Amino acid sequence: MMSAAGPEGSDASRLALLGHDLRAAVSDIIGGLRLIDAGRLDDAPRLQLERVRAASEVLARLLEDALAPMIDEGGTTGNAPASLPLARLLRDVELRWSGRAREKGVGFVMALAPDLPRVVRLDRIALERILSNLISNAVKYTDSGEIRVSLALAPDAALVFRVEDDGPGFPDAGQASHHPPRAGSGLGLKIAQEMATRLGGTLATGNRPAGGALVTLTIPQTAWQPPTGPAEAEPGAAALPDLRGLKILVAEDSETNQLLMRHMLAALGAEAEMASDGVEALGRLDREGFDAALIDIEMPRLSGIEVMRAIRSGGGRHADIPIMAVTAYVLRANREAIYAAGADSILAKPLGGLEAFGAAMATLFDRSRPAEPHPAQPREPRALDTGRFEALLEMAGPESRAELLTRLLSDLRSVERGLVLGCSEPDHALIRSQTHVLIAVAGAVGAERLMKSAESLNAAGRTRDADAVKAVAPETLALLDDLIHFVSGHVPPHSEAR
């Protein structure tokens, strides 16, 4: 006998599979449309292509909004609104509806005031549904003349959207917001009114003095202004960069870091889109347009190095996009590999505050790489007793000197790899084993400060204190990195173990 939960579970599974298939199909449609080279098309088919592209992306957002709550994924309704670039939204609206109006022989005009905010904090799906329903009604009832969509800031900083047409207008204009206007368009206005409430705004309908309909959506400043924006920095601090109007891809598998970067990018005015692994990141870059990418080095399926190589070598529209690599510990051993893969800058984890993040983003968009030291002679690491180091080499003798240095370098690099892995998890047993080796080696070569730092990290691993590991690990790894670089400068050519 089937349990009571059986049919529900079966229905939920079927719905989840259907949702997966629908998402995959829409993704293929959008991806296929973006592969078409619009530059080879004449004006008319190019405009139609852009119109279909815009509509397909609206469909994808509506599908997500509908599927997520049904499959118990959350959904967007009721969530905090995201940063929304106004210009991008209105450009998509114009692409979607201007062609429809021209098919009827009706003009379509989009008029934007010059003082509009670049980014607002609004639910994009709700705003798109309002504008789409209002413009759809205007197209339906207008047989000649034009449709005009305008956006301006009121004196009290409210956003005021106006949709006007040269159609027959509303009956009982003064009461139109309480009675269905123009036969057949009541449902569209009802949806628009519900969405306006969802945004914290109001919708009013009426007729223009010269004839035709006018619908006004008003959204007060308190509803659209981000709680934190690219405001002026604290006195004495560096000014935060203004990233309004930019769309940035964040490829990061940690949900915590995703949340942190989303909030910091929103505070700088940017729109952030997330990818949880390398394959998803490349897929989003194929389907959507981005102004920059923040790419974690350690990701499932494809690493950040592989993602950056694919972007730079693919020759697509993102081949020259500014890329910031994000990695747990910035070591000299992998810094050159990261830059060689195509990074323009590197952001070290753990992520700092907004001011440091803003400075990193400003550097990224300047496309300037920090100068890396490449000294001709090996640089003395911090707190190294060079006398003890040289005495160790003398004790080995000329015949065994190269072998000693090669083995020392191999041990140090092995410890470095183990500590990076152990501190990233954190794996306290691995931290203890690697620092045990490091304490002995650092003491033997006279790296007293490194030895003491390794002892502190060992103690943090022994007590399983994750906060202490996080506090001590950067210093230990930086000192270890210094020592590796110093020792490698003394190894004779062709002597290093491979």
Specify whether 204 is located in the same domain as 322: no
pLDDT range class, residue 371, cuts 50, 70, 90: very low
Residue 493 domain flag: no
Specify whether 425 is located in the same domain as 459: yes
- End-of-domain residue from the set 335, 365, 395: 365
The arithmetic mean of pLDDT across residues 398-406, rounded, is 80
Residue 192 domain flag: yes
CB atoms within 10 A of CB 377: 6
pLDDT given for residue 145 in this prediction = 92
pLDDT given for residue 332 in this prediction = 60
Amino acid at 273: E
Cβ burial, residue 2 (10 Å; 0-12/13-18/19+): exposed
Q: What is the pLDDT of residues 251-299, one digit of tens each?
A: 998 877 787 788 888 888 888 899 988 899 998 998 888 999 999 988 8
Give CA torsion, residues 185, 186, 192, 195, to 10 deg. -150
Write the CATH number for 257.
3.40.50.2300
pLDDT given for residue 43 in this prediction = 66
pLDDT range class, residue 217, cuts 50, 70, 90: very high
Specify whether 19 is located in the same domain as 142: no
Q: What is the pLDDT of residues 88-127, one digit of tens each?
A: 778 778 877 887 788 888 999 988 887 788 778 888 888 9
Specify whether 185 is located in the same domain as 267: no
pLDDT range class, residue 452, cuts 50, 70, 90: confident
Q: Which domain holds residue 253?
A: 247-365
User: Is the separation of the CB atoms in 461 and 313 below 8 Å?
Assistant: no
Asked whether residue 192 carries a pLDDT value surpassing 80, the answer given is yes
Q: What is the pLDDT of residues 201-212, one digit of tens each?
A: 999 999 998 889
User: Is the separation of the CB atoms in 464 and 427 below 8 Å?
Assistant: no
> Please, what's the largest Cα pairwise distance for the chain?
103
User: Is the separation of the CB atoms in 230 and 351 below 8 Å?
Assistant: no
How far is it, in rounded angstroms, from Cα 495 to Cα 485?
15
Asked whether residue 233 carries a pLDDT value surpassing 50, the answer given is no
Specify whether 337 is located in the same domain as 473: no
Residue 140 domain flag: yes
pLDDT given for residue 239 in this prediction = 64
Distance of CA 7 to the CA centre of its chain: 39
How far is it, in rounded angstroms, from Cα 414 to Cα 427?
16
How far is it, in rounded angstroms, from Cα 347 to Cα 368?
13
Asked whether residue 323 carries a pLDDT value surpassing 70, the answer given is yes
Q: How many domains does the chain have?
A: 4
- Beta-ladder partners of 275: 251
Average pLDDT, the chain: 75
Q: What is the pLDDT of residues 413-440, one digit of tens each?
A: 888 877 877 776 678 888 888 888 888 8
Specify whether 69 is located in the same domain as 97: no
In order, the DSSP letters of 412-430 are HHHHHHHHHHHHHTT-HHH
pLDDT given for residue 5 in this prediction = 40
- In angstroms and rounded to an integer, the radius of gyration of the C-alpha atoms of the chain is 30
User: Is the separation of the CB atoms in 347 and 330 below 8 Å?
Assistant: no
Amino acid at 206: G
pLDDT given for residue 471 in this prediction = 79
E-assigned strand segments in 53-94 = 82-85
Residues 74, 77, 83: CA angle, nearest 5 degrees: 100
Token readout for 471 is 């506090």
Question: Going by C-beta distance under 8 Å and a sequence separation of 6 or more, which residues neighbour residue 323?
Answer: 292, 293, 294, 295, 308, 311, 342, 343, 344
Q: What is the pLDDT of residues 29-83, one digit of tens each?
A: 654 565 566 666 776 676 677 667 666 666 666 665 565 555 444 443 344 455 6
Specify whether 214 is located in the same domain as 122: yes
Asked whether residue 250 carries a pLDDT value surpassing 70, the answer given is yes
User: Is the separation of the CB atoms in 121 and 224 below 8 Å?
Assistant: yes
Specify whether 251 is located in the same domain as 223: no
Top mean-pLDDT range of 162-171, 311-320, 372-381: 162-171
353 versus 202: the higher-pLDDT residue is: 202
How far is it, in rounded angstroms, from Cα 204 to Cα 174?
9
Specify whether 59 is located in the same domain as 187: no
Residue 376 domain flag: no
Nearest CA among 233, 470, 273, 264 for reference residue 357 = 264
- Beta-ladder partners of 152: 160
Beta pairing class for 82-85 and 247-251:
unpaired
**Percentage above 70 pLDDT, the chain:** 71
Cα separation values, 415 from 75, 420, 449, 450, Å: 45, 9, 17, 13
pLDDT range class, residue 368, cuts 50, 70, 90: very low
Nearest CA among 243, 282, 213, 286 for reference residue 28 = 286
- End-of-domain residue from the set 227, 259, 277: 227
362 versus 62: the higher-pLDDT residue is: 362
Write the CATH number for 461.
1.20.120
pLDDT given for residue 482 in this prediction = 79
The arithmetic mean of pLDDT across residues 152-174, rounded, is 85
Residue 301 domain flag: yes
Specify whether 102 is located in the same domain as 204: yes
- End-of-domain residue from the set 79, 113, 133: 79
pLDDT given for residue 216 in this prediction = 95
Residue 234 domain flag: no
Asked whether residue 375 carries a pLDDT value surpassing 60, the answer given is no
pLDDT given for residue 80 in this prediction = 47
Residue 319 domain flag: yes
Specify whether 426 is located in the same domain as 410: yes
Asked whether residue 393 carries a pLDDT value surpassing 70, the answer given is yes
pLDDT given for residue 161 in this prediction = 95
Write the CATH number for 167.
3.30.565.10
User: Is the separation of the CB atoms in 125 and 61 below 8 Å?
Assistant: yes
Residue 7 domain flag: no
Specify whether 202 is located in the same domain as 263: no
